[in-house]
Structure formats: structure tokens, C-alpha cells
Chains A and B, each alone.
Chain A
Amino acid sequence: MSEGTLYDTVWENHKVTELPNGQDQLFIGLHLVHEVTSPQAFGMLRERDLDVAYPDRTFATTDHIAPTEAEKRERPLVDDQAEKMLSALESNTDENGITFFDFESGKQGITHVVAPELGLSQPGMTVACGDSHTATHGAFGSIGVGIGTSQIRDVLATGCIAADKQRVRRIEIEGELGEGVYAKDIILKVIQDLGVDGGVGHVYEYGGPAIEALDMEGRLAVCNMSIEGGARAGYINPDETTFEYLEGREYVPEGEAFEELKAYWESIASDDDAEYDDVVTVDAGGIDPLVTWGINPGQVIEISEPVPEPSSFEARTDREAAASALEHMEIEPGQSMLGYEVDVAFLGTCTNGRVSDFEEAAAVLEGHTVDDGVRALAVPGSETVRKECEARGIDETFINAGFQWRRAGCSMCLAMNDDMLEGDEVCASSSNRNFVGRQGSKEGRTVLMSPAMVAAAAVEGAVTDAREYLGEGPTGGAGGVEEVAD
């Protein structure tokens, strides 16, 4: 059993009581709501004649079905089903006194992008949302968990979830990232090492020099994909980087109140002598950018590595999974992913839809154009991100290169709006899941990678090492892997 970790402390602070079934009743300090998984829960509340217990701790936005083309955001939405979902969220939040960041608010976007940038997600909180990527908020040193709709009903009605305490695994990430290697590569490396179900029964505490060196947006990307490694939650202890990020944001108090809150934030970090259920080390020093070659996020390689032979995996399940992945992706073992042709480049999502992600991609795109055969979408994670990018002129780089510059939403990550793959198109994607059918076509193929790698793939029309476009000024192209590899 772990002791003295942030997880233990935050759990204790939020534990209401032990339930008769042996689970703990845990207060949820921040409940994020979106249009897809909440209407059924509000319906259940109405059936039982219950009110929302903590409307002030509940915030809503629309993301999954949000059209990303400006003209398609006129109401009523062209898609009847999407309009119905959006209207339901409007009336549910209105009737229950819940703040809704709708299109008109100018703050609409993906829950896991909006809550951090507004300062709603803070250290030492428990955060829940009907979305598995709620682990994202752990970047601040909070415990974020994805929940199902019946649990959303629980949180709406009682402010609580019934939960089992998990084991805590410390993941010590050593080394220094080279140029053109990012937080996304760290988390893909972790999943490569520990597997897609390695985290089941655990929460991950990420630490070590490579994590401490990340800015908040990088930390958000790392924690975001905890669930892809099977961990229900993932977090990073708060430090000065965290406090600096939070100070001055809309929902963060100022002055004395800020200092008081900061004292709490500092108090919840893991003790130096905290005990973990286990500790693993991942070396991120000198890693190359990673890309997936298969149909789950654990089927991933450094760009310098060949696609593996199924027989090279120890576990039977991994061998079988590799064989079906090769078939779906239409690739051979031993092949490099370099040169794997792409039809679509998709940049955005709750993993990589923040300003720094667009900046990193823009650094690659500067002075280049998207390959003729590629449909390229840049979808900011929130309207706040979009406006910030536009204020800095980053949007121009994308538009000049041939990207479509869109409005905020989940978009082609899960294709619940009009943005989707067709047939067996290949997508270079900054999203988090490469499951079969995930991007809207059951023959579609997804290659996960960092934003810079997506930009490079868009230019080349094929998977490319983005470092070839970096480090040699705006025209790029003359860099080369050797120069940047440690």
C-alpha cells in the first residue's frame, strides 16, 4: 500500500465515508460535463426528482459533436442529432444553474483544454468527467477520473463517486529530450514500455527530470494518455511551473486568497519519503520521435526502429494483436514507418490541441506547403486557444501552408461531427487512440504522433522525421537526424 503520496493525501481529503460495499465515497471537487455522456444522467435525475447537489462545482462545454467549420455552428445545427444533444445540454445546465461555456461564450472547447486554461483545474482537487481523458487534469497534481453515465448521475445528485482506491506506481522519467522530441513522445514511450493494460489497478505518478522540465501544456499531454496505458488516473506533483501557470487565470483567486490556496497546493505533494506500490524508470534521454504502427497506442516505435515481428513479443496476446494490426495497417514487419503514405493530417484534440502544440507544428510548416494529396486539418482545442494562435499569427502559417484552420472541438479524434476518415485513408494524427474505426471509417488507419510530426507528414505526404525540418531556420530541410540525436 502506498503512503504519503499525493494520491493518498488527496484521497483522504475527499473521502466522505466508507460505503457498505467496501468502496469509499469520494467528494468530487470539479465536475466537467459535455453533451454526449450527460443527457441520460440528467434524465435519470429527473426520473428520481433529484436536484444537482453542487452546481457551483459543475461546468459544462460542448466538444464531441461541435462542428468545426464556422458556418456550420449556426443554430439550429444542420445535424439534427447534434442539435438535439446541444439543446439538451443548454436546458439541463440552464435548469440546474450550471455554467455552460457555449459557442457564444467565446470559451467553448474540449473539456480537458478549457478547464485547465481557465484555471478551473487546480492542485489537490478531485476531478471527474464522463470522458476517459479526465486524467489530463492530473498535470496540476489533481486526481482526475473518467466516469460512466450512471456515475455522472451520482456526481450530479450527490457530488460524489463510489470508488476503490488504486495502487500508486511512480514512473521516474529520466534523461533530457532532444530537439524535435516532445511530451507526446514521452507518454508514447511509457505506453510502449508498460503496455496498454500495464496500468490497470494503478494510478501513475509521473516524475523525474524529464517531467520536471516540461511546461504545463507538456504535462497535460503526458497525463492525458494515462488511460491509454490502462491507468485510471495519472498525475504530476505541483511545483513552481504549476503555480506560475495558474496565477492570474480566470477561476484562480488573487492576492491573499491565492497565497492561501498555494499553501494547500504545496501541502498535498508527495512526501520525499513517500512509499509507492512500485517504481519504474523510463529513460527518455535521446529518444527519437515515436509513431504508432498498429491499432492500439501500445503498438508504437521510435521512428528509427522497424515495425516489429509479431513473434518478437513474449505474450501470446501481444503476438495476436500484432498480427491483426499488421493486417489492418497493411504493413510488413521489418518495414520502417518512414515513408508510410498519409492522406489526412489531423492536428488538435485534448492531447495536443493547445497553443504550444500549434507553435511546434508551425515551426515545421514555416515556408512549406502541404502535399497535394493530403487533407490537412488544424483544430484548436478551444476557442481561447484559437484566438491566442490568431493573435500571434500562428493561424497564418497553417493557412499559408494549406491547412484548414477550424473552430474548436474533438473533431476527427472520434469523428462525431463531420470530420472523419473515408475508406482506408491513413491519418497522421496528434490524437490519442488508433483503434479500428475510431476516426469514423472502419477501414481507416491512424498513425499517432506529436504535432510536429503531423506537420512534417502533411508536407511530405508520408510519415517523416520532423527533425529534418527543424534547427536550420525557416526553410528547413537541411537539418538531419544526426545533428540532433544525443
Chain B
Amino acid sequence: MTVSSDASAWPSSSDRSETRPPALRTAAWVVAILVATGLLVSLPLLVTDYVLSAILVPVLALGLAGIGQNLITGYAGQLSVGSAAFMSVGAFATYDVHLHVRGIPLLASFAFGGLVAGLVGVFFGLPSLRIRGFYLVVSTLAAQFFVVWLFTKVGWFSDYSASGVISAPRLALAGWDLSSPGGHYWLALMIVAPLTLVGRNLVRGRLGRSWMAVRDMETAAALAGVRTGRAKLLAFGIGSFYCGVAGALWAFTYLGTVEAHGLDLDRSFQVLFIVILGGLGSITGSFIGAAFVILFPVALDQVGSALAGGSVDASLLQNIEKIIFGALVILLLIKQPAGTVRLLQIAWCRVRRWRPRSA
């Protein structure tokens, strides 16, 4: 048997896996999902606290923000550069509701933060009913600057703390203390995993299809009976809900504290880059992008100090990082606009189709 000359990225119906009995395939899936779940849940026992709190938790939080950005930009095609604003609304709303409503469960305050962020997202998405394309950048930038200003200037939001910094409430679920690095990770996983599944189903369902129709050609979508205005506002609302919950996770499980300036325009760009690098219009891609964004600076730092034989100037590394990120974004947009996730799919299909010549 020879290597197939057809290098198409798509698995065809002649794939070997399709010829297995259906029951066996279902069983294989169940086993795979169980193993993956078990692995994800037991990770705190396998890795160090550093990996947990400096890599896994921020990847989960930023991956969730990436999903939010992806719903708005990758699926519904509405360009937003305000993710960090929605994240910060989520973080502050979670903080305030936990502070002012006595005895509210932790998960409920996260949900409340997400809901408030979603409403704010719908509000700043309203101009999308009249304007298109990158004009929308202006509306979301307005959100970005206004939210940072509001949380800095109005003391009520940060409970009149002099520095404008808010710190995390004690993290506990029904008496179960989650203040260890492992607890932070479990809490993040407990919130991110179901939301990821919901997001995955959303984009495959009626709503997701109407988003993609709006993205691909709005006029045609309207003619086909999609209520485009409703679809766009829902994209902003749901996407911002995801960003809001992600912001609360970022603030309370990763940093422990947050101030308005920690979620500024640069963070919005970071989330946007996560989506471009991981894959526009891919839920999995959001996590790949988030992992890259978190891991790359760590790796660069390691390589830098290994090459220089000591510590390297931080601003030098930061500039190199900026150049590489920018160049990667341009390169991916030119070579593979569907992002890293498509590259991995192509590689996986090549591996699956590859057969040793002597077999």
C-alpha cells in the first residue's frame, strides 16, 4: 500500500475508522472521554503547584475568554476589541454581588458576573444593528475605555478601596475549601468545562448556524429568514457572558486581585490574538491559542536565559515577544486563516492516512 497522493485535509468516508462496527466506535469514544475527564480532574495530583497556578488556570480562563471572542468574531463575524472590558465587568460584578449579597453561593456570583457582562455586551453591540465591519471596532473600543474609566473613577465598584484594586473572596463551595492551587484549578475546570460543552453545542445548533450565515453574507442570511439583528445581539450577549465569567476566573482564581487597568486594551488584543492564532471559528482553537499565549513567554524566557547564560533584560524579551506574536498573526492570516487548529487537523489526517510501505 502506498501513501495516498490526496493530501486533502478532510477525513473521507473511506477512512478506516468508519468501517468499524458502530457499537465499538461508541465504546471507544466513551473510554476516551472517561480517560480525558479523569486525567483533567486528577491533574492537580500529577503536576506541580507552579504548573497549576501559573499555566493551567490562566489557560482555562483565557481559553474561556477566547470562546467568548470567538462566538462574537469567529462565528458571528462581528469584530470586537472589547473583550477585556467585558472581562472586567464580569470580574467587578462578581466581586460586588459577593460583597453585597450575604451568603450567595460562589457559582451564583460567577453566573451573575457573566450575566451583567452579557447585558453590557448587548448594549455595546447595539450599534452592530446599523453599522458593519471595522466600524464596530469603535463601539467596542468605546466600551473598553469607558469601562476602565468607570471602574477607576467610581469607588463603589471596588468597595472604595484606595488603590482601586479588588481582591478575591474566599473561594469555597458548600464548605469545601478551594483556596489551594489545586482548588483554584478545580473551580476553574468546573466552570470552564460545562461552558465549553454548551458553547460547542450552541455553535452546532440553529443559533450557531444563523451566526455563521450572518458572518458569511448578511444580506443572504436575512433573505433566508435569519433574524440578523437578533443573531448579532445574541452573539454579543452570549460572547460577553463567556468573557465576563472568564474575567471573574482570571481575577479570582489566577491573579487573586484585579484592578481596572489590568484588563485594558492590551488584554483585549491578547484575547483577539488567541482567537486568530488558535483558529477563528473553533472552540478547541480558543484553548490552543490560550495555551500558546501563556506558554510562549515562559518558553522564550527559558530559551533567552539559556542562550545568554543568565537573566535577560525583561524589556528586550518583551519586544522580541511582540515581534514574534505580530509576525505569527500575519503569517497565519496569509498561510492558514483557520488557525493552528486547522494545521493540527491536517497533520492528524496525514498521520492517520499514512501506512508503512511494507505493511
A and B: interacting chains: no
